[in-house]
Chains A and B, each alone.
Chain A
Amino acid sequence: MNRLIIWYGELLTQKKLIKRGALFLGPGMLWLMIFLVLPGLILVLVSFAARGAYGEMVWEYSFDNYKRLMGYGIFGWTPDYLVILLRSVWVAVVTTGLSVVLSYPLCFFIARKPERTRYLWLMMVIIPFWTNMVIRTYSWFLILAPELPFAKLAAYLKIISPGMALYPSAFAVYLGMVSMFLPFVALPLFSSVERLDWTLVEAAQDLYSSNLRIFMHAILPQTLPGLSVGIILSFVPAMGMFVVPDLLGGAKYMLVGNLIQQQFGTSRDWAFGAAISMGLMILTMFSLYLYRRKNKGMELL
């Protein structure tokens, strides 16, 4: 401990180095421990507790909440909660997928612009990204309203009854989600697309590759770092999103986020809410693990 070492060109003892390191590391780590790790552990504990008759939390431990999540509630077996969990995964996957599909052309387009206008276009993508999510979501109320041409077109095509708006509906939720998360994918993706080595693409073209193969083998691998970050930044929050389903889905299209919010709100069942949160976390972790297995060597930021 007291022998001398050289670190970054400085001569000092290991003990001193550790003390100094702790000084830097200490406050931040302490904060994260107290306000991140500890609450997390408490949440796990609470997920095993129960709800009293009047909505208070009662420390009776059991697996009841998890059993209920799996479907074994008072009214017999229902797949409700599992359906909601899986639906949330599905929506997150579709949202991320559509965002990726729409982001690539956007990024190619911007990357090929001259330096000056490129900044402008990037700013135009960043602006909605920085605009508050509540505003971005409720603004769809206007577009989907019965008076506007979109709803009228849908009524004409007999998809909905005349005079009704295009929300609340699953369609509206998907619209809201994709418009919400598209910038999350586009911006990290752009940093990779910007650095794309187009000579590889040219080489593939010279070898008479089909467009699809060019994309899969010349473009995709090069953009993988940015794409991965984008996918994570979109998929993870999408799993827990409740604002979009709440405003655009009414009470009709429920996702896990709404369910959790309901437990901490009107249902006053914190214990069940904690259990659902645990379920969500496990699902998210598992999905990320699967993704990581397919794409080794993924760095985050």
Chain B
Amino acid sequence: MRKLNLAVNTMAFGTMAFLYLPLMAVAFFSVNNTKYGLAWKGFTLNWYLQLFQNEVILHAAWNTLILAVVSTSISTVLGTALAIGMDRFPWPKKMNTGFDLLLHLPVIIPDIILAAALVVAFGFLRGISSFFEPGLFSMIVGHITFQVAFVALVVRSRLVSIGKDVEEAARDLYATTPYLLWNVTLPLLMPGIVAGAMLAFTLSLDDFVISFFTAGPDSVTLPLYIFAAVRRVVTPQIHALSTLVLLATILLVGVMERFTRKKNTP
């Protein structure tokens, strides 16, 4: 048993190292004072300073943020309504399985197929309205499409676990529908909604494929910028940018942990 323990622990540590090694390398070389090559030439924060003067990168960061915030807000609303609509109403079984399938589509279809479908669809919609030129608008639409499904799935599982009882009790006490929704269902649902929203937010921030296919010249996001830059030449500036993104992610995860822990401890 001891040997097994040792094996498990070693493998676990090894796996963690495997996950973090590349990221640590990026952080390490982001403060290396040399433009090319990997020889250590001294510590410098130059590359970080250059970042903040680079308008293109700042613009990309701004785009990424706007995209994530707008698409998350809309998809959370749509997804929550969808979940409530699916679970709290007596649809015939066939319809229910149909809804189920529709919601699971973005999960079981590789996102490149989704992106290809959007490109083709937008190509046609462009003839009708110039809103569908590649750009922030079409990216937001693309993001909302897959986010809605994820939000709805998360919220629905929460709805299922809440159950009917509380709402029936509220009805017995003469609650009207709006009151019921606002003061009973929604508060109970909140952890699920927040979880869904956070999931949607991360999915948008991290998204590459859908953004890649629907982006226009003005709407470059950070992932797209880094991808294009890395294919040309890898500079320490990119390392600095990546390290900053990593730090922002760590911050985000920390905040999320705090938040959910507060919610879960009554």
Contact = CB atoms under 8 A, between A and B. Distances in A.
A–B contact at 8 Å CB threshold (below)? yes
Interface of A: 7-10, 17-18, 20-29, 31-32, 35-40, 42-43, 46, 102-103, 105-106, 108-110, 119, 123-128, 130-136, 138-143, 145, 147-148, 179, 182-183, 211, 232-233, 236-237, 239-243, 247, 257, 260-261, 264, 270, 273-274, 277, 280-281, 284-285, 288, 300-301
Contact of B109 (A22, A284, A300): A284
A301 B106 CA distance: 13
A136 B113 CA distance: 23
Contact of B230 (A105, A134, A284): A134
Interface of B: 4, 7-9, 11-13, 15-16, 18-23, 25-26, 29, 37-39, 78-79, 81-82, 84-86, 88-91, 99, 102-114, 116-121, 123-124, 141-142, 144-145, 148-149, 152-154, 157, 164, 167-172, 177, 202, 205-206, 208-209, 212-213, 222-223, 226-227, 230-231, 234, 238, 242, 245-246, 249-250, 252-254, 257, 261
B108 A284 contact: yes
A243 B84 contact: no
A237 B111 contact: yes
Contact of B26 (A125, A139, A182): A139
Contact of A243 (B12, B39, B208): B208
Contacts of A25: 81-82, 85-86, 89, 99
A132 B205 contact: yes
B223 A132 contact: yes
12 contacts: A21-B91, A28-B78, A31-B145, A32-B105, A35-B144, A37-B102, A39-B117, A138-B238, A232-B107, A277-B117, A281-B113, A288-B108
B121 A42 contact: yes
Given A9-B171, A20-B89, A240-B111, A130 B78 contact: no
Given A28-B79, A133-B208, A243-B227, A147 B39 contact: yes
A43 B117 contact: yes
Contacts of A27: 78, 81-82
Contacts of A35: 118, 121, 141-142, 144-145
A182 B164 CA distance: 37
A280 B112 CA distance: 10
Given A24-B89, A32-B148, A127 B26 contact: no
A110 B141 CA distance: 39
A264 B78 contact: no
B110 A179 contact: no
A236 B39 CA distance: 39
Nearest to B224: A134
B85 A24 contact: yes
Given A9-B172, A133-B223, A145-B38, 16 more contacts: A27-B82, A32-B102, A35-B144, A39-B121, A42-B121, A43-B116, A43-B121, A105-B15, A109-B8, A130-B206, A132-B249, A133-B208, A141-B230, A242-B209, A243-B208, A247-B230
Given A17-B89, A38-B121, A179 B106 contact: no
A8 B88 contact: yes
B136 to A, nearest CB: 16
Given A28-B148, A237-B110, A130 B252 contact: yes
Residue among A9, A18, A46, A123 facing the most chain B CB atoms (10 A cut-off): A9
Contact of A141 (B13, B107, B234): B234
Contact of A142 (B11, B29, B106, B213): B29
A138 B243 CA distance: 12
Contacts of B37: 147
Contacts of B112: 240-242, 257, 260-261, 277, 280
A132 B20 CA distance: 13
B12 A281 contact: no
Nearest to A133: B208
Contacts of A125: 16, 19
Contacts of A179: 18-19, 22
Contacts of A22: 85
Contacts of A46: 120
Contacts of B110: 236-237, 239-241, 257, 280-281, 284
Contacts of B208: 132-134, 243
B89 A131 contact: no
A134 B227 contact: yes
Contact of A9 (B90, B103, B168, B213): B168
A8 B164 contact: yes
Contact of A123 (B104, B107, B172, B253): B253
A103 B167 CA distance: 40
Contact of B153 (A26, A102, A106, A301): A301
Contacts of B8: 105, 108-109
A135 B26 contact: yes
